[in-house]
Chains A and B, each alone.
Chain A
């Protein structure tokens, strides 16, 4: 079956260039013109590879890569006009599999696409589903939205990242150090109080009763976890 590739760029001439070349190799091509559209097109159909521009309106390529990585391990190649190292490192750190610096030649583009598709792993532990549910809690990774039952909940960027740590590791006890390192960064590793306050705030928003939490549970002396839901 033909591999389906999503190409994302705000310049129609880049879309045309990529599409024309990819089609000669028998790939199926779908397009998006900004990061938000990319995430939405991506979550509507199975995609084998994403070619993602960086500088785009609404949501840039980094933001869109991050959003997609929250629920999918599909390979992403970043197309960057800015050739500086910082940008490439940032793209790779956010979960991109490779990058291609503009200007690039058509043959190089096609070679990279073949290489990345060859390396592509079958779907990893990160669920391919756009939605996550835990009892009455629901997360839409593509839109970065959270609901408690029917109520949409507004979370700060940090609170959302903290919640994702739990959602991506259901049933696993996470230590304060782990959580602080992955959400705030290594320099906050020992700053336990900031985590306590954030978890307390998150519980206020997510739990029906913050004193008897169901979603984020404390394991005294060990850490915190999102307990598995028993059927």
Chain B
């Protein structure tokens, strides 16, 4: 093999291994091929997996048919034969074609494109009015068709790969959830068991203060356990869309005030400032919306303890927008797109107890009101959650 040929082959190989979409790579192939081998039209057909029909994925008129538009030969039927037989095929002009009309004197060369040993498409070259394909040209074209096969196979792998990745991510979330939830359920259970058996010990006497301390812990942990179970059940109901919502006219500012009042009885030093603009009532489920607001507050208290929370309510067009702003540590950028996913928990939150269900439940409830919920966050500066609810959500 001479140096020039090697150089030429190497350029083709380099092009094959380039990144980029298959279209731009085919373009480069044909440009390189044209240096050695003349053709007028070229088309690449790929079998559509679902309909089992050939689809054209690339076509170029380079030579004599440049201005013939759809009238010139593109070898659609011929491509079907190539795929069916799975071999290189040549086709000369039809015997009845008028000899003075060059465009009807089509010489076709068809090469199968394979992937996983299966014929998945065809590469078709067309020459109008000859010359016939020399052996050298045919060999050249087969080489390029092999490279194209590799290219398509790689594209197919990439697609499968990204599907698998997504699937794996989902499975990982499920798996994490199972291990988190069993840990989360066992923790309160462990306290209830541990502290109650401590009180039941016959070989020791606890003073009254300690007894009261232990009983309080048992009581609180029983509450925590029942809340957890409730959350798990509720998220399952929301997932299967069997949670009934009771819509009625509702003033969001009063729902918000109620929630804050309730939270203040539990957290004496809760620091909330509000600016609630007048807004018309909406159609909504007060209990569920209160649950969403409470969840956002408790998240802020949990992840940004003792930081002030600012709540704003605005009437914008046909929507009401509520924002909850905290000055906590913020959410890392890579976690932000996933926080509403079921079971998702940010990496840095593993030390704070939670199930990865709270925000998922919020999103489902807001969704059932035809509203939107999203978050913006700057790490180190804080997080703002936004809720947008249409005033007439039952329509």
Q: Which residues of A contact B (CB under 8 A)?
A: 10-11, 13-14, 16-17, 20-21, 24, 55, 57, 81-82, 102-109
Tell me if B186 counts as interface (CB < 8 A to partner A).
Answer: yes
Whether A10 and B217, one on each chain, are in contact in the complex, defined by CB atoms closer than 8 angstroms, is no
Measured CB to CB, the closest approach of chain B to A21, in angstroms, equals 6
A103→B195 CA distance, assembly (Å):
10
Whether A20 and B179, one on each chain, are in contact in the complex, defined by CB atoms closer than 8 angstroms, is no
Measured CB to CB, the closest approach of chain B to A10, in angstroms, equals 7
Chain A residues contacting B183 (CB-CB under 8 Å) are 55, 81-82
Whether B198 and A21, one on each chain, are in contact in the complex, defined by CB atoms closer than 8 angstroms, is yes
The number of inter-chain residue pairs (CB within 8 angstroms) is: 56
Q: Is the interface of B mostly helix, strand, loop or mixed?
A: helix
Chain B residues contacting A102 (CB-CB under 8 Å) are 186-187, 190
Count B interface residues, CB 8 Å. Answer: 24
Out of B179, B190, B204, B217, name the residue touching A103 (CB < 8 Å): B190
Chain A residues contacting B194 (CB-CB under 8 Å) are 14, 17, 103-106, 109
Q: Which residue of A lies closest to B205 (CB)?
A: A24
Whether B351 and A20, one on each chain, are in contact in the complex, defined by CB atoms closer than 8 angstroms, is no
Out of B179, B190, B203, B204, name the residue touching A14 (CB < 8 Å): B190
Tell me if B165 counts as interface (CB < 8 A to partner A).
Answer: no
Chain A residues contacting B351 (CB-CB under 8 Å) are 10, 57
A17→B179 CA distance, assembly (Å):
24
Measured CB to CB, the closest approach of chain A to B198, in angstroms, equals 4
Whether A17 and B191, one on each chain, are in contact in the complex, defined by CB atoms closer than 8 angstroms, is yes
Tell me if B192 counts as interface (CB < 8 A to partner A).
Answer: yes
A17→B218 CA distance, assembly (Å):
11
Of residues 180 through 214 on chain B, the ones whose CB sits less than 8 Å from some CB of chain A are 182-183, 186-187, 189-195, 197-198, 200-201, 203-204, 210, 214
A102→B210 CA distance, assembly (Å):
22
Tell me if B350 counts as interface (CB < 8 A to partner A).
Answer: yes
A-B contact sample (19 more), CB < 8 A, given A20-B210, A103-B190, A103-B192: A14-B191, A17-B191, A20-B198, A20-B214, A21-B201, A24-B203, A55-B183, A57-B350, A57-B351, A81-B182, A81-B187, A82-B182, A102-B187, A103-B189, A103-B193, A104-B190, A104-B193, A106-B194, A108-B197
A57-B350, A82-B182 known; A11 and B198 CB under 8 Å?
A: no
Whether A106 and B350, one on each chain, are in contact in the complex, defined by CB atoms closer than 8 angstroms, is no
A21→B200 CA distance, assembly (Å):
12
